[in-house]
């Protein structure tokens, strides 16, 4: 199973999702592969936002080695599942889909935790520390649910 997480910049939400899911998969012993990307390319090559790195470390997760990259339509061929953080990511990713199979891979991440509610992982970039902790809590709960369902 290969899972891609997509947000806008690939420096806050999606790298944390990648780190949290990878950490839990390793604990459980599941050989899933995780990656992340941003619909925008402005931060390509950069490490995750310092505030997100520090938030992750508080919970024992090191995301310092991740580097941002832009989502590409070839990602549809590489991944089984593409989790997006909000509706803007969703429409940008869907605009690059080449087939209904591609479209079927795309899902709002929080629908894993709250099926059918189309809730979003809020962008913490322009806010304070509380927003980063909130993103961690959402992603941590979602990862727990995701792996419960994978059993």
Please tell me whether residue 1 binds ligand 4NP under the rule CB under 6 A. Answer: no
Nearest to 20, CA basis, from 28, 128, 119: 28
Contacts of 150 by beta carbon, 8 Å cutoff, 6+ apart = 1, 30
Cβ-based nearer residue to ligand 4NP, 9 or 19: 9
Cβ-based nearer residue to ligand 4NP, 59 or 125: 125
Contacts of 30 by beta carbon, 8 Å cutoff, 6+ apart = 147, 150
Tell me the C-alpha to C-alpha distance, in Å, between residue 69 and each of 36, 40, 51, 80, 140: 8, 8, 19, 19, 23
Select the residue interacting with ligand 4NP from 3, 4, 9, 143 (CB under 6 A): 9
Q: How far is the CB of 122 from ligand 4NP (least distance, A)?
A: 9
Q: How far is the CB of 87 from ligand 4NP (least distance, A)?
A: 13
Question: Tokens for 23?
Answer: 């950490």
Residue number of the CB atom closest to ligand 4NP:
9
Binding residues for ligand 4NP (CB under 6 A): 7-13, 38, 42, 123, 125
């Amino acid at each position: 199973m290969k899972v891609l997480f997509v947000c806008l910049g690939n420096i806050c939400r999606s790298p944390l999702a990648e780190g949290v899911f990878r950490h839990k998969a390793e604990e459980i012993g599941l050989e899933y592969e995780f990656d992340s990307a941003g619909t925008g390319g402005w931060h390509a090559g950069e490490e995750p936002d310092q505030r997100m790195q520090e938030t992750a470390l508080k919970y024992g997760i090191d995301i310092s080695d991740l580097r941002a990259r832009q989502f590409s339509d070839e990602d549809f061929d590489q991944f089984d599942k593409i989790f997006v953080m909000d509706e803007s990511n969703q429409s940008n990713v869907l605009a690059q889909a080449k087939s209904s199979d591609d479209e079927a891979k795309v899902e709002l991440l929080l629908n894993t935790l709250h099926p059918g509610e189309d809730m979003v992982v809020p962008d913490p970039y322009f806010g304070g520390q509380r927003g980063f902790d909130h993103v961690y809590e959402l992603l941590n709960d979602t990862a727990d649910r995701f792996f419960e369902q994978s059993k």
